């Protein structure tokens, strides 16, 4: 008993001592923890405030996505051609029409990309090309590509709403919305497909997607970190998705990875201005269920569309006084320069830019400004 008492007293004393010394340390710690807490709370509050401020621009919050609908967009219907002018092309109406929606924007690669795509689409029977160009005016050069293809088309000028020009603004949404709007008002049946101007698409895929009842899906190559994005098929049904950026999406798929039957396009169907979530939110807005998805491309075992991309070309500015090139000798050359500028592959400026040279043989170079 005595020993035990002694021990207890010692422990008590030790505890007391220890507690005291700890208390002073604890006090200073407490103070710095409190300060830290305050800073932390302030930081959280500040972050919340800032996110509310900026996210509202991206339409992540519900009240702002409602506001999106009221933002005035100045779309312009440039030209509609319902005639299939292609010779030897089956235009029998028993085939469902495919509405191929292409958002595009002016850049040096625009016309070559559209030309290449037009050469694919020209092989597809019963197709209507809806091109929505991201600029306020109707582009003459874009219309020329459409005209030359002989494909029925709709040409829309659909500039981004002014409000959304800055920040992380998703490209192509205003265009796709404008195209969807045109389809809603003018089309009752057919198949809808979103194909960018830089995608490569196998002709086989068109005949497969034509049979879409609600929403069909298929793999897209050259995308994300996995090389391919695709639904995973088990017993002919979608069992999951393979996409390097799940992003908490119900349908983690690429824009080029699905087709929709227009009869299934509900009035609630819409695409938000949220980068990375355009496809998913659109599919969700259709009320799509995973079990409704129709897998194509041999149960998603084949890649029939790719996300090819042209390397960006920096548009040069050339210092050329075009109005000074009036002589017969350089008439054709002046026309070529005008065409280059018209197709958006170079800017011609009379006062600044690279001074271009003309060569006559391997040795003689002459500045364009000298010869005028």
Ligand X SMILES: *[C@@H]1O[C@H](CO)[C@@H](O)[C@H](O)[C@H]1NC(C)=O
Chain residues that interact with ligand X, rule: CB under 6 A: 83-84, 91, 235-236, 298-299
How many Å apart are CA 91 and CA 85, to the nearest integer? 10
- What is the rounded distance in angstroms from the CA atom of residue 91 to the CA atom of residue 127? 9
Q: At closest approach, how far in Å is the CB of 83 from ligand X?
A: 5
Beta carbon nearer to ligand X, 2 or 235: 235
Smallest gap, in angstroms, from Cβ of residue 298 to ligand X?
5
- Nearest distance, CB of residue 236 and ligand X, angstroms: 3
| Annotated binding residues | 103-105, 134, 171, 176, 196-198, 307-309
Which residue, 228 or 297, has its beta carbon nearer to ligand X?
297
Q: Strand pairing partners for 221?
A: 228, 306
Q: How many other CB atoms are there within 10 angstroms of residue 50's CB atom?
A: 10
Active-site choice (279, 291, 328, 339): 279
Q: Which is nearer to ligand X, 298 or 335 (CB)?
A: 298
To the query of whether residue 279 is one of the catalytic residues in this protein, the response is yes
Closer residue to ligand X in complex, CB, 125/316: 125
* Angstrom distance (rounded) from CA 94 to CA 22: 87
Annotated binding-site residue numbers for UDP-alpha-D-glucuronate:
103-105, 134, 171, 176, 196-198, 307-309
Least distance in angstroms from the C-beta of 104 to ligand X: 24
Phi-psi region of 143 (alpha: psi -120 to 50; beta: other; left: phi over 0): alpha
- Say how many C-beta atoms besides its own lie within 10 A of residue 76's C-beta: 15
Encode 262-283: b = buried (16+ Cβ within 10 Å), e = exposed.
bebbeeebbbbbbeebbbbbbb
Q: Which is nearer to ligand X, 120 or 299 (CB)?
A: 299
Contacts of 234 (CB under 8 A, 6+ apart): none
C-alpha 125/C-alpha 243 separation (Å) is 32
Least distance (Å) from ligand X to the CB of residue 153? 12
Give me the residue label for tokens 């092309």: 89
Residue list, annotated binding site for Mn(2+): 198
* Cα separation, 274 vs 55, whole angstroms: 10
Residues acting as catalytic residues: 279
């Amino acid at each position: 008993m005595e020993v035990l008492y002694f021990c207890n007293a010692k422990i008590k004393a030790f505890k007391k001592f220890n507690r005291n010394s700890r208390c002073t340390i604890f006090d200073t710690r407490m103070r710095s923890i409190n300060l830290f807490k305050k800073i932390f709370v302030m930081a959280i509050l500040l972050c919340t405030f800032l996110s509310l401020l900026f996210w509202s621009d991206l339409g992540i919050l519900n009240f702002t996505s409602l506001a999106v609908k009221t933002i005035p967009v100045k779309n312009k219907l440039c030209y509609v051609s319902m005639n299939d002018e292609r010779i030897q092309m089956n235009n029998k109406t028993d085939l469902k029409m495919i509405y191929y929606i292409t958002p595009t924007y002016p850049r040096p690669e625009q016309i070559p990309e559209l030309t290449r795509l037009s050469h694919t689409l020209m092989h597809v029977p019963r197709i209507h090309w809806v091109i929505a160009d991201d600029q306020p005016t109707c582009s003459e050069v874009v219309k020329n590509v459409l005209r030359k293809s002989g494909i029925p088309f709709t040409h829309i000028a659909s500039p981004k709403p002014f409000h959304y020009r800055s920040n992380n603004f998703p490209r192509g949404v205003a265009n796709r919305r404008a195209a969807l709007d045109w389809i809603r008002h003018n089309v009752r049946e057919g198949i809808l497909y979103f194909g960018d101007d830089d995608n490569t698409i196998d002709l086989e895929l068109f005949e497969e997607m034509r049979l879409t009842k609600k929403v069909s899906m298929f793999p897209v190559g050259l995308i994300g970190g996995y090389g391919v994005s695709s639904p995973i098929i088990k017993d002919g049904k979608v069992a999951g998705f393979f996409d390097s950026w799940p992003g908490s999406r119900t349908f983690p798929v690429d824009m080029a990875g699905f087709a929709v039957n227009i009869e299934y396009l509900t009035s609630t169907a819409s695409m938000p201005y949220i980068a990375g979530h355009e496809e998913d939110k659109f599919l969700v807005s259709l009320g799509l269920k995973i079990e409704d998805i129709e897998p194509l491309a041999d149960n998603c075992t084949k890649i029939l569309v790719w996300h090819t991309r042209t390397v960006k070309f920096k548009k040069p500015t050339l210092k050329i006084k075009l109005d000074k090139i009036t002589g017969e000798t350089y008439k054709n050359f002046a026309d070529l320069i005008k065409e280059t500028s018209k197709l958006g592959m170079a800017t011609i400026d009379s006062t600044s830019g690279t001074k271009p040279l003309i060569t006559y043989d391997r040795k003689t170079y002459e500045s364009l400004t000298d010869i005028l």
